[in-house]
Amino acid sequence: MTVTETLHSAFVEHAAKNPDATAVHSEAGVLTYGELDERSRVLAERLVADGAGPGVPVGICVERTPDLLVAVLAALRAGSCYLPLDPDYPADRLAFMVRDSGTWLLLTTPASRAACPPGPTVVVLGEAVTTEPGAKPVAVVPEDTAYVIYTSGSTGRPKGVAVRHGACVAMLADLDRALAGCDLSGVSAASSICFDMSVMELFNALCRGGAVVLVESALHLAESRHADRITHLNVVPSVMNSLLDAGALPPNVRSVVFGGEALHRKLADRVYRETGAERVFNAYGPTEGTVFCSFGLVPEGGTDEPTIGPPTAGDRVYVLDGELRPLPAGEPGELYLGGAGLAHGYVNRPATTAERFVPDPFRAGERMYRTGDLVRFTEDGELRFLGRTDHQVKLRGYRIELEEVEARLTGCPGVREAAAAVRGNRLVGYVVPTADAASPDGPAPDGTTPDGSRAEAALRSAVTGRLAAELPEYMVPATLVLLPALPLGPGGKLDRAALPEPPAADAGGPRTAAGTPTEVALAEIWGQLLDLEPSGIDVRSAFYDLGGDSLLLVRLARLMTRRFDRRVRVPDLFSFRDISSLAGWLDDESGAAPEVVRSARERAGARRAALRGRGTTGTGTGR
């Protein structure tokens, strides 16, 4: 087997040549190539003994420690494909992914065991791993599936994209050419393995002899004690803005790859101006095209908005009209992909696969993928992204089918109709309540008769709580707007453009100030994040309505976790959206108000001081 055949074989060769080189840096420990090779080999043999092999998906439900890489490599070395299962995903979604993909074998750790869906045979890393004589991995060929990643689905159900080893190898070869000369000695790995950018992060380093710097998320880069080792960063534009605002970009980053969202010239210029980055790249591609299909350098000092780069060498890119005819440079059309980077298709979705992976009219016997993206070629052969032909959106780099969110909203009790849209940096849900849900229906807990606003608040809370239990946090609407009816166009279809902007927080009127110690502490944290005076914050106002967004919500969870010495997750903040309800939850859970030992301003000052000296402190920004 040569290094050009599989996603992982180049790693095995590097491990054999340089076993003492560091492969992984993380808060939970460091692994050399030799250690990672040996642990993944032994585990792969155990998986083969349990029935793993080509065509057998192995679920990976592991937190972000070196065990994550051990598990992924073991599944691949056993000849199987891996199915990413984020332990923080809702239980129902994980169960669906396992059931839909036919996964009956799963790898986890003691820390993530409770998150595993019922049903599959579970192998727990860290427990004694024994192998049977002759339990050797089966040879893998380029057409075998390397991984299955689930994306949002327009039918209301997520769909699994099966990606070939050969497509992954072609992607890595394109990446080699694009990043020639970049320092890959420390490649950040901050993406969930449920997001295909993780494939580029992990294997760009491991298959090239570099080291993976594993962190919780890109927003936690500066908190890592290994932050100074990061030389190459893959990041979503909105996250980069937050990192720059906080002065939290690791100091030794020399190259940055943007993807997942539109990159604007203003941000590219800011990276060149405010950091030590010498090269900034912009990449584009759907999961069905294996991470990216275009990749280009964004030159320093340019005046035009960045393109999404030229097509990569391993891909065929067409810009076609409605009759599948090629369009000249400057003419907008739909982007179609062909070539080595194409995925197999969708797991157990033959009709959807046939609809999206269509015959290539320019290559007999081959296929091309309909992306649904509108683009045009520039005169010099690069691609400029123009928008979508459907209702798919990107938020923080995640692909979201609005129809899936709408289907979940409509399935909630008390909801008659629903719609969803992105407004600014947040996902907004629009709900038409049923008649009984929007009207008073009995006494309140204090014995009084509720008014309409109390009923609306109860509906919002119930809907948000249900969605948080069913969807990943990035797919849960940050704001719910109740409407008497959805706006319709002349043909009777939903008019998305007419969906109203979410109402801003009321600047006037009576406010309820923080009263309890927990409320006061929360108001200080909110004031720090939102640049507001804590004393002026109404404890009944939602975080988003005061100017918060999904990125600040991640920081809020981290600050609360530190302040109250207990884990606060982003889904918790969808269930308790204002200071009053958050404080009640914190106090009820602990039985008493949490101890508050330092003010938010004191902690912020300490973090800023730590950042200035992070070369020796290793502390972070408080995200």
pLDDT value, residue 366: 95
- Cα 162 to chain centroid, rounded: 18
User: Residue 87: pLDDT band by 50, 70, 90 thresholds?
Assistant: very high
Lowest-pLDDT range, 23-32, 380-389, 488-497, 596-605?
596-605
Give the per-residue pLDDT at 343.
95
Mean local confidence (pLDDT), 38-43: 94
562/26: higher pLDDT: 26
For residue 191, the number of C-alpha atoms closer than 13 Å in the C-beta half-sphere is 25
pLDDT at 334 over 90: yes
Query: In angstroms, how far is the first alpha carbon of the chain from the final one?
Result: 44
Handedness of CA 605, 242, 93, 259 (dihedral sign): negative
Alpha-carbon span 484 to 490, nearest angstrom: 18
Angle in degrees, 0-180, between the axes of helices 33-49 and 9-17, rounded to the nearest 10: 130
Q: Span 513-533, mean pLDDT?
A: 86
- Residue reference for tokens 């290094």: 3
- pTM of the shown model: 0.77
Confidence of residue 607 (pLDDT cuts 50, 70, 90): very low
Mean pLDDT of 486-493: 72
Same fold, 9-377 and 411-498: no
Q: What is the pLDDT of residues 262-281, one digit of tens each?
A: 888 999 999 999 999 999 99
| pLDDT over threshold 60, residue 362 | yes
Kindly list the distances between the CA atom of residue 254 and the CA atoms of 25, 46, 295, in Å, as whole numbers in the listed order.
18, 40, 17
H or E element that contains 29: strand 29-32
Mean pLDDT of 338-363: 94
Which pLDDT tens digit goes with each residue over 437-482? 754 333 333 333 344 466 777 888 888 888 888 888 888 888 888 8
Residues 6+ apart with CB under 8 A from 3: 9, 10, 13, 207
pLDDT score for 614 = 32
pLDDT at 611: 32
What confidence tens digit (pLDDT) does each residue in 117-153 have?
999 999 999 775 655 655 677 788 999 999 999 998 7
Helix then strand count (H, E) for the chain reads 17, 25
What are the Cα distances from residue 328, in Å, to 192, 294, 318, 505? 38, 18, 10, 48
User: How does 69-99 read in b/e, with b if 16+ C-beta sit within 10 Å?
Assistant: bbbbbbbbbbbbbbbbbbbebbeebbbbbbe
Taking the C-alpha atoms of residue 455 and residue 459, their distance in angstroms, rounded to an integer, is: 6
Domain 411-498, second-level architecture = 2-Layer Sandwich (3.30)
Q: Domain limits of the chain?
A: 9-377, 411-498, 517-617
Average pLDDT score over the chain: 84
Residue 371 corresponds to which tokens in the numbers above? 């992306």
CA separation (Å) from 593 to 11, 28, 297, 328, 602?
Answer: 51, 31, 52, 66, 20
3-class secondary structure, 45? helix
Statement: residue 1 has pLDDT above 60: no
Sheet holding 159-164, edge to edge: 121-124, 105-108, 57-61, 81-84, 145-151, 159-164, 345-346
Helix H or strand E encompassing 214 = strand 211-214
- What does the pLDDT read at residue 67? 96
For 9-377, which CATH superfamily applies?
A: ANL, N-terminal domain (3.40.50.12780)
Residue at token pair 């908005």:
305
Q: How far apart are CA 91 and CA 61, in angstroms?
A: 12
Asked if the model's pLDDT at residue 424 lies above 50, the reply is yes
Angle, alpha carbons 103-73-149 (nearest 5°): 45
Both tokens assigned to 196: 């295909």
Look at residue 153 and give its three-state secondary structure: coil
Q: What are the residues whose beta carbons fall under 8 Å from the beta carbon of 462, sequence distance 6 or more?
A: 412, 413, 414
Q: Average of pLDDT values for 495-513?
A: 70
Q: What is the pLDDT of residue 234?
A: 94
Per-residue pLDDT reduced to its tens digit, 52-75: 999 899 999 999 999 999 999 999
Q: What is the pLDDT of residue 379?
A: 92
CATH assignment, 517-617:
1.10.1200.10
Residue type, 422: V
